[in-house]
Amino acid sequence: MITSLSIENFALIEKLNINFSGGFSIITGETGAGKSILLGALGLVLGKRADLSSLKNASDKCIVEANFSIAKYDLKWFFESNELDYEDETIIRREILPSGKSRAFINDSPVNLQKLQDLSYYLIDIHSQHQTLELSEEEFQFKIIDAIANNKELLLEFQSALKKYRQTKSILEAKNSSFSAILKEKDYNEFLYTELESANLKAGELEDLEKTYETLNNVEFIKDNLSSLLALANEEQFGLLKNLKEFKTTLQKNGHFSPEYQSLFERTNSIVIEFDDIVKELNRESDMVFNDPEKMELINQKLQQIYALQKKHQVLSVEELLEIQNELENKVVSVTTLEDEIAQLEINIKDFEVQLDTIASKISQSRREAVPHLSQKLIEILNQLGMPNVRFEISISPSEYYHNNGKDTLQFLFSANKGTDFGLLKKVASGGEMSRIMLAVKSILSNYSKLPTIIFDEIDTGVSGEIANKMGEIMKVMSHSMQVFAITHLPQIAAKGANHYKVFKTIVGENTVSELKLLNNDERIIEIAEMLSGKEISDSAMNHAKALLN
């Protein structure tokens, strides 16, 4: 439950510190005194967005801090899962800087607004007139039935499976889309791949083919040059080889005269050996050089094939063509792979549907069992609230679609008077009737939820007299199991509270400020008397106020 609230520089509040206790607390005040400001400040620590207009003094930061006693509510799991320090007395602080930036803290650990909102779900239910309108919405009606049916675990299981089901369907849609696109190009890709594969390309072969083709294309020229070289080397009288050998023999004769001559001889001998080897190699090359028009034509065809493929695929090398061939092979193979993946996904989706249908059936069954109990409880409470002939017709029907909360549709029909037909709540229920029905719902739900605190913001709209008295009694009973606040204009409800807080405006210098104070017994009598008769308090109003409090 909330144990204290501190507000600085928010709207009409300069500085406010107030402590709260458990049980049933009342908040009253004239219209415009600042009750909505109080709820607005509390909304900040619960994760609602803020803007600079919230600052009373635009040059100072706004701070709202709330203390919550949560030892009884088994919330350690939330703190552990969000990597936050758990404290039995948890402090939530929200700061709005003059720059417009906002900061939030849980037990001094900085958090984002989403975490505040997630935690607030387990701390406080602020019931506003807007929420009364939600009573006519199917989603809210299902929440009521599911709370009574104790469907929390089943719903979590269903939502987990539904998330996986939707993710799988999304993947399947993407795969089908890819498959359609690939299928359109399948034949063309297969043609391109076959064309490249049949070319039997090898890395580096283009350079070798071009060199061989160049050689074959110049056979006569090469043969003539080789013949000339061999003639120069081997000519019987003046050949280079014969002359080198004679040069070596003559130099050898001087070898024994000095080391220098011997060195020159050895160098010359090396030249003769090397040149002799060159001549032999030229002879071999000459024997291998011959005109081969058939081979030349085959090489030319292969070159033209490679050049055509390079032009077609707009590349400059065989290596790039081989990369394209690999890519095309993957695309061709991926069609079959994708077909297998799609088939498996379709099987998975069928499995998820079986799982979802099974869980949805259990949810639906427990809802049907809870409906008579809900109707009976609503009628019992509403009879106390001046609606003796109220009737409900709640029907649950199967749906073809998976919703976030199961596979049902709901009709929540209502009749307030004898002889009137059933109709949808939002069409046939008045504002006062809706307020009473919502209070009845909250009263029933308080027995099923572990929510620490509920704040009723003028739930008494459209009622008065004895009905208001009964509404106060119901909220008082609810406060036995949870902390209950009621913001009210009705003295019958105000008198039921164990604690009574008053919101009021005062003038401080040139400024108007809102304040909140806990009233003592005498101040409560005066406040309730004012609610009965206005500022001019009569003796009868004072007596009536005392009687209400007693």
Measured distance CA(67)–CA(19) in Å, rounded? 9
Q: What is the mean pLDDT of residues 415-444?
A: 86
Euclidean distance between the first and the last CA atom of the chain, given in angstroms as a whole number = 27
Question: Which tokens is 373 given?
Answer: 């109990």
User: Average pLDDT in the 264-277 region?
Assistant: 86
Asked whether residue 546 is domain-assigned, the answer is no
- Given pLDDT bands bounded at 50, 70 and 90, which one contains residue 202? confident
Q: What is the percentage of the chain residues whose pLDDT exceeds 70?
A: 96
- Over residues 186-193, the mean pLDDT reads 72
Beta strands in 107-155 (DSSP E): 109-111, 124-127
Residue 495 has pLDDT above 80, yes or no: yes
Same domain, 249 and 111: no
Residues 129 and 212 in one domain: no
Residue 302 has a pLDDT of 82
- pLDDT classification of 109: cutoffs 50, 70, 90: very high
Task: Please report how the helices 138-149 and 152-198 are oriented relative to each other, as an axis angle in degrees rounded to 10.
Answer: 120
Give the burial class of 412: count Cβ atoms within 10 A of its Cβ; 0-12 exposed, 13-18 middle, 19 or more buried: buried
**Other beta carbons within 10 Å of 281:** 10
For the segment 227-244, the average pLDDT, to the nearest whole number, is: 76
Grade residue 533 by pLDDT with cuts at 50, 70 and 90: confident
Tokens of 332: 């061709």
Are residues 217 and 326 located together in one domain of the fold? yes
Per-residue pLDDT band for 272 (boundaries 50, 70, 90) equals: confident
The per-residue pLDDT for 151 is: 93
Which residue, 213, 369, 368, is CA-closest to 305?
213
Phi, psi of 107 (to 5 degrees): 50, 45
pLDDT at position 187 over 70: no
- Looking at 336, 367, 394, which one is the last position of a domain? 336
Q: What is the pLDDT of residue 132?
A: 74
Please report where in the chains the tokens 């008077």 appear, as a residue: 417
State the pTM of this model: 0.66
Q: Are residues 94 and 190 in the same domain?
A: no
The 3-class secondary structure across 165-223, one letter per residue, is HHHHHHHHHHHHHHHHHHHHHHHHHHHHHHHHHHCCCCCCHHHHHHHHHHHHHCHHHHH
Q: Are residues 185 and 320 in the same domain?
A: yes
Identify whether 473 is part of a domain.
Answer: yes
Do both 105 and 231 map to the same domain?
no
Amino acid at 188: Y
pLDDT band of residue 334 (cuts 50, 70, 90) is low
Is the pLDDT assigned to residue 53 strictly greater than 80?
Answer: no
Question: What distance in Å separates the CA atoms of residue 371 and residue 390, rounded to the nearest whole number?
Answer: 16
SS (H, E, C) 381-427: HHHHCCCCCCEEEEEEEEEEEEECCEEEEEEEEEECCCCCCCEEHHH
Across the chain, mean pLDDT equals 86
Domain that includes residue 16, residue range:
1-133+449-519
Half-sphere exposure of 43 (CA within 13 A, CB side): 16
* Domain assignment of residue 493, yes or no: yes
Indicate if the alpha-carbon torsion angle 399, 402, 407, 409 is positive or negative: negative
Q: Is the pLDDT of residue 255 over 80?
A: no
In one-letter notation, the amino acid at residue 135 is L
- Domain annotation covers residue 22: yes
Q: Do residues 190 and 294 both lie within one domain?
A: yes
CA-based nearest residue to 378, from 342, 428, 420, 415: 415
Instruction: Tell me the mean pLDDT in the region 473-490.
Output: 91
Average pLDDT of span 3-16: 88
Residue 29: band (very low, low, confident or very high) from pLDDT cuts 50, 70, 90? confident
Residues 6+ apart with CB under 8 A from 439: 381, 385, 456, 459, 471, 474, 475
DSSP 469: H
514 CB burial (10 A radius; 0-12, 13-18, 19+): buried
pLDDT exceeds cutoff 80 at 454: yes
pLDDT digits (tens, 9 = 90+) for 283-293: 887 777 667 67
Q: Are residues 50 and 195 in the same domain?
A: no
Residues 99, 197 within the same domain: no
Q: In what order do the strands lie in the sheet with 423-424?
A: 391-403, 406-415, 423-424
- Model confidence over 351-408: pLDDT tens digits? 999 999 999 999 999 999 999 999 999 999 999 888 899 999 999 999 999 999 999 9
**CA dihedral in degrees (538, 542, 548, 549; nearest 10)?**
160
Q: Are residues 320 and 217 in the same domain?
A: yes
Q: Return phi, psi of residue 100, to 5°.
A: 100, -10
Shortest CA distance to 441 belongs to which of 118, 27, 134, 36? 134
Same-domain check for residues 310 and 245: yes
* Percent residues over pLDDT 90 in the chain: 36
Beta strands in 32-101 (DSSP E): 62-69, 89-96
Q: What is the pLDDT of residue 290?
A: 66
The number of distinct structural domains making up the chain is: 2
Mean pLDDT throughout 86-111? 91
Asked whether residue 439 is assigned to any structural domain, the reply reads: no
Contacts of 300 (CB under 8 A, 6+ apart): 213
Tokens of 505: 């405006």
| Spatial CB neighbours of 55, under 8 Å, sequence gap ≥ 6 | 9, 10, 61, 62, 96, 98
Lowest mean pLDDT among 72-76, 146-150, 249-253, 482-486: 249-253
Q: What is the pLDDT of residue 333?
A: 62
3-state secondary structure of 140: helix
Residue 300 has pLDDT above 70, yes or no: yes
CA angle, 157 then 46 then 16, to 5°: 160
- Residue 226 maps to a domain: yes
Residue 519 has pLDDT above 90, yes or no: yes
| CA 74 to each of CA 42, 324, 442, 455: distance values in angstroms, whole numbers, following the listed order | 22, 62, 21, 21
Which pLDDT score is estimated for 222? Answer: 75
Residue 420 has pLDDT above 80, yes or no: yes
204 and 94 both lie in a single domain: no
Please give the pLDDT value at position 406: 93
**Is the pLDDT assigned to residue 325 strictly greater than 90?**
no
Q: Is 84 helix (H, G, I), strand (E, B) or coil?
A: coil
Q: What is the CATH number of the domain that holds 58?
A: 3.40.50.300
Instruction: Summarize pLDDT for 31-40 with one digit per residue, the tens.
Output: 777 788 888 8
Confidence band, pLDDT 50/70/90 cuts, at residue 534: confident
- Answer whether residue 450 shows pLDDT above 80: no
Residue 5: CA count within 13 A, CB half-sphere? 23
E strand or H helix that includes residue 532: helix 521-533
- Of the two residues 286 and 221, the one the predictor is more confident about is 221
pLDDT tops 80 at residue 428: yes
Is residue 208 in some structural domain? yes
What distance lies between CA 101 and its chain's CA centroid? 23
Q: What is the structure's pLDDT at 248?
A: 81
Does residue 373 lie within any of the structural domains?
no
